[in-house]
Amino acid sequence: MLQKGETAPDFTLEATPERKVHLKDLRGKNVILAFYPADWSPVCSDQMTLYNEMLHYFEKYNAVLLGISVDGAWCHHAFASARQIHFDLLSDFEPKGAVSIAYGVYEEKFGVSKRALFVIDANGIIQWSYLSPVNENPGADGILEALENLKNN
């Protein structure tokens, strides 16, 4: 898993079947990457719903939140619509798990992303990372603390 001080690997992933997100286009903003195993699972649903409720706090730190899993763009679309999620869920579907692999958070045995968080600064450098047990919602406290540390540096 990538650690503090490492350059965040660039990527381009589908946010919807018609729109892609390029990490490099977000330079100048802080970026939160929330890798998670699967749409619709109970823990993932709770985690993404919590982050949706925290969006206004993240925005105060000039931060953009991106959820990433190996689910397809249509699955993300249905999940986001059902949960009324207002941030991009990116599809690391093809080649399967390529971005998760680049960040060191792909679970080969199950073919899914691990539950991992990264806070990337405006220059594209990882400032905080956390690997959560798969069955635990990591919450938002670590993200907020990392963003506060960026603000104070």
Out of 3.40.980.10, 3.30.70.980, 3.40.50.300, 3.40.30.10, select the CATH number for domain 12-130: 3.40.30.10
Tens of pLDDT, residue by residue over 22-36, are 999 999 999 999 999
Please give the mean pLDDT across all residues of the chain: 97
User: Distance between CA 104 and CA 18 in Å, rounded?
Assistant: 28
Looking at the annotation, which residues are catalytic? Answer: 44
The answer to whether the pTM exceeds 0.95 is yes
Tens of pLDDT, residue by residue over 60-87, are 999 999 999 999 999 999 999 999 999 9
